[in-house]
A = this chain, B = another copy of it.
């Protein structure tokens, strides 16, 4: 058997401890599969003494994780510290510059600095892999970059944030409102104390930007992702969607049109209405799923646990096995220099069916006002629902929702601008697209 692959582990939170446990439990099997053993030689974290439920005996301890880059006995650095910048980025730069491999679960760092790090990896012939950064334990990066490599990818989309999916699933099951379910998710550990990063869609946007670059061969463009979170969704929206045969999922969706000079990249994270017959409608709880539509393969779906120490460790170690086996394609499938520049697509021309929801004062003329605005903007209404029975109307705001026929996004945007400032509107209307 060949020489062991020697790794240094930076960050000993739940995922770092998971990697240690996984290598202890499955190490013999992994050595047989990889053709060589994978051995942890050094570790680093903020606090040395903390009890993590795993033994650190036999691993060299460094207080300064960036010193891994200088250790001759380290082949690959595994970065599980997190954060787009700071120590994680400093470590990544130093490790790659020193020709060490870098395996990371850090979606924020890859979304922000993936191009720089990939160029550094190429320049130093150092492996850079990040399967665990997208969709936890699911081999979505591998499925896309290798499994679907024969295809022009026409669209990529998926359920990319387990916290949001847990909340939306729970709202649907219990009929409870967003705030209630968020509090429960926090109590159960499915949502952070500060949940903004998840529920505002930023985490999903990081993952989507990475998938889009891989799928379309474009340079990473995280800042252009159009992001809407789930915090404005009401129990009433979920009920209305259900009555129409849809469930609500926070989706990341991307596609790319070849332009005259630059590709037009569309990237959006937003809650969408998904038909109950679609595979993503069955993705409940903290599960993630990624769909890639290839021009020959058709629709491929990859589904599994989107987070958690075991699944994330599984993805990290899968990357290590690939490095041990010598399967090291370019980090973004193509060499960085040949990734295409892109500009954000103008969404105004995109044609969708939209769910539009209004919270309105229940008084005469409100529906006429809404329908007139739609008419004046050229928006055709497919169905229209006013929630609540007449005898329950006691001056409280009423939820009114509609589904439009397919039309350009600009149409609905114009209609809503016509209603802007209307005294009938208790809050801004909420638009969610129907997954087509």
Q: Which residues of A contact B (CB under 8 A)?
A: 18, 22, 25-26, 29-30, 32-34, 131, 137-139, 142-143, 146-152, 217, 277, 279, 281-282, 289, 294-305, 308, 310-311, 313-318, 320-322, 325-327, 329, 333-334, 338
Contact = CB atoms under 8 A, between A and B. Distances in A.
B33 A149 contact: yes
B318 A148 contact: yes
Contacts of A305: 297-299
Please give me the 9 A-B residue pairs with the lowest Cβ-Cβ distance, nearest first.
A139-B147, A150-B317, A297-B314, A301-B303, A137-B297, A296-B310, A296-B314, A327-B327, A300-B304
Contacts of A303: 279, 300-303
13 contacts: A25-B152, A29-B152, A33-B333, A137-B300, A150-B313, A150-B314, A296-B317, A297-B311, A297-B315, A298-B311, A300-B302, A302-B302, A325-B327
The complex is assembled from copies of this chain, and their number is: 2
A22 B314 CA distance: 33
Contacts of A281: 282
Contacts of A152: 25-26, 29
Contact of A149 (B30, B147, B294, B298): B30
Given A146-B327, A150-B316, 18 more contacts: A22-B150, A26-B295, A33-B149, A139-B147, A139-B148, A139-B300, A142-B143, A142-B146, A143-B143, A146-B321, A150-B320, A277-B282, A296-B311, A296-B317, A297-B304, A298-B311, A301-B301, A325-B327
A149 B321 contact: yes
Nearest to A309: B296
A150 B318 contact: yes
B146 A139 contact: yes
A310 B26 CA distance: 37
A34 B217 CA distance: 13
A320 to B, nearest CB: 8
Contacts of A300: 137-139, 302-304
A376 B334 CA distance: 67
Contacts of A149: 30, 33-34, 317-318, 321
Contacts of A325: 327, 329
Contacts of A148: 139, 314, 318
Contact of A310 (B32, B298, B314): B298
B279 A296 contact: no
Most buried by B among A25, A137, A295: A137
A299 B304 contact: yes
Nearest to A327: B327
A18 B314 contact: no
Contacts of A316: 150
A279 B288 CA distance: 12
A121 to B, nearest CB: 15
A297 B137 CA distance: 5
A151 B314 contact: yes
